[in-house]
Amino acid sequence: MVNKYVISSGHGKIVRGASGYIDEVDEARRVVNRVDQILREEYDGDGWTFHDNTSRDQSTNLRTITNFHNSKPRNIDISVHFNAGVAKATGVEVLHHGKHGVIAAQLSKAMADALGLPNRGQKVRTDLYVLKNTAKPALLLEVCFVSNKHDADTYKAKFEKLCQAIAKFLADYLGYKKSSTTHVEVASNNTETFYKTGAPLGLYRVKKVCSTYSGVDFTKADKLQTLKVGTAFTVTDIVKFGNKYRFKTKMGEWVSAKRAYLEKV
Ligand SMILES: [Zn+2]
């Protein structure tokens, strides 16, 4: 059975969080929804999202969120918040209850790298209700400061990169794999990265180590020789094979027509 997550937004629709250049609750919801979507669509992930739309006071809000987390058979709990402070305060931090410093530090660094904002790192907080009362490893993300214009602008500009970084952290932690639909997309995009039929024939030079084969399907048994960087050879033909392209050399061998491997001399 696949490992699962619960990811929720901090505070609630009625019990609001911090507000500044951006609004904490609105943005936390966007991050939660996008990370969940990435884990489902781009990985083989599965889990639950939660946003509190009903609580009218803070203690009900905290209990409602925590009860949702604890009601699911999950392996990790993620709570998304944004920070607030003095105008100069900046950066990313990830809070945990005490035992999860290693993964909190990993995630904080991944988020800070994605945003290009200072990494404030992992912090132990034993006073936070959600961290204290959830039974699984729980991380509380403080994405950046809503009170800092540069943080807010950076977050808006790097939103997708941030969500991808959080999703990748969770995928690694939970053992998810990139889903096959993503592989298909990558493969079809690859046609852009090949010299195609109609590209000039003649002398090409190796930019990245690659191999020659006796057939166009590049089975292991058909492998002939490894071409070192700087080797030049003459291309006499280009053929399409599936959604890939192959060069035929003067020697009668086949080489990938990937632009990353070869340059025209
Ligand atoms: Zn908050």
CATH code: domain of residue 124: 3.40.630.40
138 occurs within a structural domain: yes
pLDDT at 192 over 80: no
pLDDT band at 182 (very low <50, low <70, confident <90, very high): very low
What is the 113 CA–ligand 1 centroid distance (Å)? Answer: 21
Indicate whether 164 and 207 sit together in one domain.
Answer: no
Phi and psi based region of residue 35 (left: phi greater than 0; alpha: psi -120 to 50; beta: remaining) = alpha
Indicate whether 53 and 90 sit together in one domain.
Answer: yes
Indicate whether 170 and 88 sit together in one domain.
Answer: yes
Average pLDDT over residues 86-92: 97
| pLDDT score for 183 | 42
Residues 6+ apart with CB under 8 A from 220: none
Average pLDDT over residues 174-182: 79
pLDDT at 221 over 80: no
196 occurs within a structural domain: no
pLDDT band at 241 (very low <50, low <70, confident <90, very high): confident
What is the 206 CA–ligand 1 centroid distance (Å)? Answer: 53
- State how many domains the chain has: 2
195 occurs within a structural domain: no
Residue with the bigger pLDDT between 182 and 257: it is 257
| pLDDT score for 150 | 98
| pLDDT score for 206 | 93
* Domain, as residue range, for 148: 5-174
Indicate whether 162 and 209 sit together in one domain.
Answer: no
191 occurs within a structural domain: no
- Is residue 77 within 8 Å of 36, Cβ to Cβ? no
Assigned token pair, 9: 């937004």
Indicate whether 77 and 134 sit together in one domain.
Answer: yes
The 3-state DSSP class for residue 184 equals helix
Average pLDDT over residues 46-74: 98
What is the 127 CA–ligand 1 centroid distance (Å)? Answer: 14
Indicate whether 157 and 225 sit together in one domain.
Answer: no
pLDDT at 187 over 70: no
Indicate whether 247 and 145 sit together in one domain.
Answer: no
218 occurs within a structural domain: yes
Name the helix (H) or strand (E) containing 30. helix 24-41
pLDDT at 188 over 90: no
pLDDT digits (tens, 9 = 90+) for 98-118: 999 999 999 999 999 999 999
Of the residues 174, 191, 219, the one at which a domain ends: 174
pLDDT at 186 over 60: no
Q: What is the DSSP string of 80-136?
A: EEEE--STT---EEEEESSS-HHHHHHHHHHHHHHHT--EEEEEE-SS-HHHHH-SS
Indicate whether 21 and 111 sit together in one domain.
Answer: yes
pLDDT band at 78 (very low <50, low <70, confident <90, very high): very high
pLDDT band at 180 (very low <50, low <70, confident <90, very high): low
Indicate whether 52 and 95 sit together in one domain.
Answer: yes
Task: Let me know the angle formed at the C-alpha of 87 by 23 and 101, rounded to the nearest 5 degrees.
Answer: 75
What is the 257 CA–ligand 1 centroid distance (Å)? Answer: 52
147 occurs within a structural domain: yes
Of the residues 174, 192, 220, the one at which a domain ends: 174
Average pLDDT over residues 209-224: 87
Mean pLDDT score across all residues of the chain: 93
Indicate whether 12 and 103 sit together in one domain.
Answer: yes
Q: Is the entire prediction scored with pTM above 0.75?
A: no
Indicate whether 63 and 122 sit together in one domain.
Answer: yes
What is the 134 CA–ligand 1 centroid distance (Å)? Answer: 17
What is the 84 CA–ligand 1 centroid distance (Å)? Answer: 8
What is the 14 CA–ligand 1 centroid distance (Å)? Answer: 14
pLDDT band at 18 (very low <50, low <70, confident <90, very high): very high
CATH number (domain holding residue 238) = 2.30.30
Indicate whether 130 and 211 sit together in one domain.
Answer: no
What is the 48 CA–ligand 1 centroid distance (Å)? Answer: 20
179 occurs within a structural domain: no
Pick from 69-73, 126-130, 217-221, 237-241: least confident: 217-221
What is the 80 CA–ligand 1 centroid distance (Å)? Answer: 8
Percent of the chain past pLDDT 70, that is, above it, reads: 95
What is the 167 CA–ligand 1 centroid distance (Å)? Answer: 20
What is the 26 CA–ligand 1 centroid distance (Å)? Answer: 11
Output the CA torsion sign for 106, 109, 112, 118: positive
